[in-house]
Structure 1
């Protein structure tokens, strides 16, 4: 007899059902960004039960990123592009400060946990999740499991905590903005989407795969953003996506994130989990402090500032910015600048540091 519970398609639809139920539950209890946090939580819990293994193809996540990338690209008007270019020196300064801050946290965590500094540092750098894990695979002596756990823990903590911080009086009262956003999106009909959306969808998919071929960081997000932004700046404004499509893209991304955390593969689980949570909280507090400085010296809202500087994924911060009516172009500009800076500048620098450390260790008398 065929065991259908082990079939990949069955496992995927089982996981999709779990994710959808999680989204509904979080929506009913009015949790911020329910269609991202709900599926992520439900799949994370569902993956702990081994009777039926959960499955979420990365291609589903990639489709969600393409949809999100298109939506982000629509916010890049000429005025927004000029504003972002004017903030490039500030982006560089704040990115360097954030990386140094994270390196300092990694130093203390390494000393207290007894885990080697290269592993903790690679797990603490707030770059793209996949980029840092790939870097860890390339450098000899780095514990890939610990790096993956630290990176995933940071991202999940940020995705869970920042929405509540954004909706708190400390940052802004976003409830009215969210209601307005839902009302605006609910007016979008299929008549305004078709047939023009077919052209934009084709362009976004082509640019996503082109970005992957060119080895861009997060190509399925960056490719559609770049393509749509260029079209928007040149005057070809694409149609806004309905709220239901954006919600489904969040399910696609949230379900994938929920499968990433695998504490059972860690050595010294208790110690690493505690330090991962503490260092994640310190990063969030540090980002909050920098965001308040950014608000003080620039004419932007606290929500825009916090989402711009929070060391989470560019896609998750963009989803939040979209939900609370923050300045999507500024948030994405800061997030992508940090992603590109870390992708191109940090790995060579880390390799240089690790090489010097290795030489120093080999020169020590035995």
Structure 2
């Protein structure tokens, strides 16, 4: 009973923070409001705020459905054409990360193994788990660097795209449009079963972010088959962002210790340099090939899939392009770059016979 009480309190406080951020005109209010209030309260009070993983997963399902609505036949065709570009941008970001990690290891007491896994834009939990497999890596330091990267990306990137990087569209933020469902109930029942089936398969094979990927893929397929994409109403989209924001805020614990860490300023500087590098990539692609500047920056930005997709959705960028680039990068990092890195680090540290 006490558990449900604190879930309700957390939901109320998070929703109220989102509403206040919305009234203040702050970008991504329903995501950033809950995130910041939960982060502050988690680190300054002893109150037992609680947000179970199943609520986070419901939020990811809704966000996945909304992101999937952007994947039409035309968008998927453009994704296939963009595969070489995805690989170039991903390799550029990973390469910059490797050099950044080398600089970080030289300027601090961190081993290169720790610095590299801490700099990889591949997700906090995944990188911490990988760091536990590498001798010499410090999981707590990796968590610190990944936390700082996430905090910077979800604050700096939305600020930049709002004030400095021009948008080709008018945006589709909460409250700016309304949309209804346009298909018969049987179609949605079949879609729900398909999402559940794909979700179970993805969880069985330990795919990353299955609760977001399964609805995204199913809704994309639904759009292609029916040729009539649908959009979710605003309220469930806002509620899903609150669910994700509350979860992310409560994950940012122990910040008092992190803020006292010696390499804090260096880690911040390196992450800001990575964001600047991504801006440089987007301007270069825009100048050389006339690719949309906003789409390229959000596609290259070192953020998470959900956060960057929500940002793209809000500022009117091409959500399918941004989402596909980030999905490609996270799969590349998690299934190619990170395992190869772990293997090479283990081989390097293994005693020679």
TM over 0.5, yes or no? yes
Q: Does the 8 Å contact 1:70/1:204 carry over to 2?
A: no
Partner residue of 1:171 out of 165, 169, 178: 165
Q: Does the 8 Å contact 2:118/2:145 carry over to 1?
A: yes
Partner residue of 1:160 out of 149, 155, 160: 155
Match of 1:101 in 2: 96
Match of 1:246 in 2: 237
Q: Point out the more displaced range, 229-238 or 277-286.
A: 229-238
Q: Does the 8 Å contact 1:119/1:146 carry over to 2?
A: yes
1:94 Cα deviation (Å)?
Answer: 1.3
Deviations 1:61-89 (A, max 9, x none): 11111111111112111111111111111
Q: Which runs of 5+ in 1 are unaligned?
A: none
For 1:141 and 1:265, how far apart are their aligned partners in 2?
25
- Correspondence list, 1:31-42, <5 A: 31-42=26-37
Deviations 1:276-330 (A, max 9, x none): 3222211111111111122223443222111100010011000011111111111
2:185 is aligned with 1:185: no
Q: Does the 8 Å contact 2:64/2:211 carry over to 1?
A: yes
Match of 1:263 in 2: 254
2:285 is aligned with 1:294: yes
Match of 2:44 in 1: 49
Match of 1:91 in 2: 86
Q: Which runs of 5+ in 2 are unaligned?
A: none
Partner residue of 2:265 out of 254, 257, 274: 274
Query: What is the count of residue pairs matched by the alignment?
Result: 351
1:220 Cα deviation (Å)?
Answer: 1.0
- Correspondence list, 1:191-210, <5 A: 192=182, 195=185, 196-210=187-201
Query: What SS is found at the alignment partner of 1:55?
Result: coil
- Correspondence list, 1:52-91, <5 A: 52-91=47-86
1:146 Cα deviation (Å)?
Answer: 1.2
2:350 is aligned with 1:355: no
Match of 1:303 in 2: 294
Deviations 1:21-54 (A, max 9, x none): 2111211110111001111001001102333221
Deviations 1:185-226 (A, max 9, x none): 32x24x747735444344324322321112111111111111
Q: Does the 8 Å contact 1:127/1:342 carry over to 2?
A: yes
Partner residue of 1:12 out of 4, 7, 23: 7
Structure 1 residues 44 and 358: CA distance shift in structure 2, 3 A: same
Structure 1 residues 27 and 182: CA distance shift in structure 2, 3 A: closer
For 2:189 and 2:256, how far apart are their aligned partners in 1?
43
Query: What SS is found at the alignment partner of 1:251?
Result: helix
Query: What SS is found at the alignment partner of 2:170?
Result: helix
Q: Does the 8 Å contact 1:145/1:266 carry over to 2?
A: no
Match of 2:138 in 1: 143
Query: What SS is found at the alignment partner of 1:46?
Result: helix
Q: Does the 8 Å contact 1:210/1:223 carry over to 2?
A: no
1:246 Cα deviation (Å)?
Answer: 0.9
For 1:72 and 1:135, how far apart are their aligned partners in 2?
28
Query: What SS is found at the alignment partner of 1:300?
Result: coil
Q: Does the 8 Å contact 1:308/1:334 carry over to 2?
A: yes
For 2:283 and 2:233, how far apart are their aligned partners in 1?
33
- Calculate the TM-score normalised by the size of structure 2: 0.92
For 1:182 and 1:37, how far apart are their aligned partners in 2?
14
For 2:89 and 2:125, how far apart are their aligned partners in 1?
22
Q: Does the 8 Å contact 1:24/1:34 carry over to 2?
A: yes
For 1:256 and 1:348, how far apart are their aligned partners in 2?
27
Q: Kindly report the root-mean-square deviation, in angstroms, between the aligned alpha carbons of the 2 structures.
A: 2.3
